[in-house]
Amino acid sequence: MGNGIGISFSLGSASGSGRGSDEFEKCMGEFREPLEEAVSWIEKNSAAGESGFGWLNLPEADISPVLEAAEWLKGYDSIIDVGIGGSALGNLMLHQALLPMYYNELPRGKRGPRFYLADNPDPEKASAIWERVSGSRVALIGVSKSGATAETMSQFLWFRSRMSSSVGGDVDKDVLVITDPKGGVFRKFAEETGCRSLEIPPSVGGRYSALSPCGLVTASALGADVRGLIKGAASMKKFLSEKRGVRDNPALYLAAINRFHEKNGRPMSVLMPYSNRLETFAEWFAQLWGESVGKDGLGTTPVRALGAIDQHSQVQLYTAGPDDKLYTIINVANHGAEINLPTVTDVSLSSQSFLSGRGLGTMLGCEARSTASALVKSGRPVVWIELDRVDAHTIGALVLFYEYVTAVTGRLMKINPFDQPGVEQGKRYTYGLMGRSSYEADAREAEKYFADITRVNISA
């Protein structure tokens, strides 16, 4: 890319494949002014600190409080992080990309504290986490901007109670909450108990918070290079701000591609990285994209896939099923130390001699190119993104890039990419069904709609 970021974007196949390049060029002409306006809209509102736009300012944020809290966390045997949605997926994505694989299984000298994420309020999972940490020094982190998220607060209360019963005394000395700087339940809790706290910038939404304390503090405590993450994000921000034209700015170009294919009968967007380190990146993308652009009857459904595994589960559908998807393949040029295969000498295995001396990383790259080529042969549109390697710098850059693409695409669709009204309705129903005061009408409404589901019931 000429600026040391280490990411390249190849967009040719997606520029009208299967629908005619002339039609795409016409749309590009129509999109030019709205895309330019979207850039001004993002830059103006992020500079003003408007709600939802704070993600663009995170590369310049002071992370010294994060690093100080991370040093404190390193003194514990285990960390339980309680959060859901953006408060959880950013952690998982950064950890998988940047920490040693099977991190918790490493001996203590080769890792920091063991890490457990309590996201889904499944009693079996919560109990299993506690069984693994009970009797050790445990730090509890609660992540919620409001502190009112039912899934988070219920588990936070339970784990805090377990810790109190186990060790007694002032359990809140082992608690960190990451929340709004001024308001909300968790902020009041921190003021009452004196527990540690970190601030989520008011202008940063949950699914855009991976590069805020929500994602950075545990990544740093476990040994990830968070300074490198921030530098990578800053490099991508600078690159995108300098490339003002649609055709030389990959974020604007990709936003146009997404909108074009949505309008032309492709309502799904497949993200398929060819690296185990990026598997959870695809999950993080799915939330970012789905909650941001799925509104007013618009948007494309994010589909997560992992190469090469899903060549054997989904690519048959992708190449020969309905032509209703846009595909993005993320390839990694350098997977680290290569594993070279031995020379095949067994007569019974002679048909596999072509593998002799070849590398597993080389094979994974060949499979990525093969899948992309097979899709293009079938008339499917493919975006190819290639990372020089998976490291803190490239991941930070890739996170900011996709946040930018998502925001621009939402603006191009004339919807708000920073709210989630559908999610809020489900929250209100949950509050009502769990007996929260003032939500009785929501409980009755939820029961009415659920009764329609169970109106026809067959039990086995």
Domains of the chain: 7-43+229-412 (3.40.50.10490), 62-200 (3.40.50.10490)
pLDDT at 193: 97
Q: Which residues does the annotation mark as catalytic?
A: 291, 312, 427
Instruction: Decide: residue 299, CB within 10 A, 0-12 exposed, 13-18 middle, 19+ buried.
Output: buried
pLDDT digits (tens, 9 = 90+) for 415-433: 999 998 888 888 889 988 8
**pLDDT value at residue 20:** 55
Query: At residue 393, does pLDDT exceed 90?
Result: yes
Across the range 452-460, mean pLDDT stands at 91
Please list, in sequence order, all residues whose beta carbon lies within 8 angstroms of the beta carbon of residue 135, skipping any fewer than 6 positions away.
166
**Which residues are registered as beta bridge partners of 356?**
none
Give CA separation, 336 vs 21, 267, 277, 430, in Å. Answer: 38, 36, 12, 46
Instruction: Rank 144-153, 194-203, 343-352, 423-432 by mean pLDDT and report only the highest.
Output: 194-203
pLDDT tens column, 246-268: 999 999 999 999 999 999 999 99
Cβ count within 10 A of residue 351: 8
Q: How far apart are CA 110 and CA 365, in angstroms?
A: 30
Q: What is the mean pLDDT of residues 203-232?
A: 97
Tell me: pLDDT of 1 over 50. no
Q: In this structure, are residues 233 and 400 in contact, taking their beta carbons and an 8 Å threshold?
A: yes
Which amino acid, 16? Answer: G
384 pLDDT more than 90: yes
**Torsion 53-280-250-30 (CA) sign:** negative
As a whole number, mean pLDDT of residues 82-108 equals 95
> What is the average pLDDT score of the chain?
94
336, two tokens = 């680290």
Contact 122, 161 (CB under 8 A): no
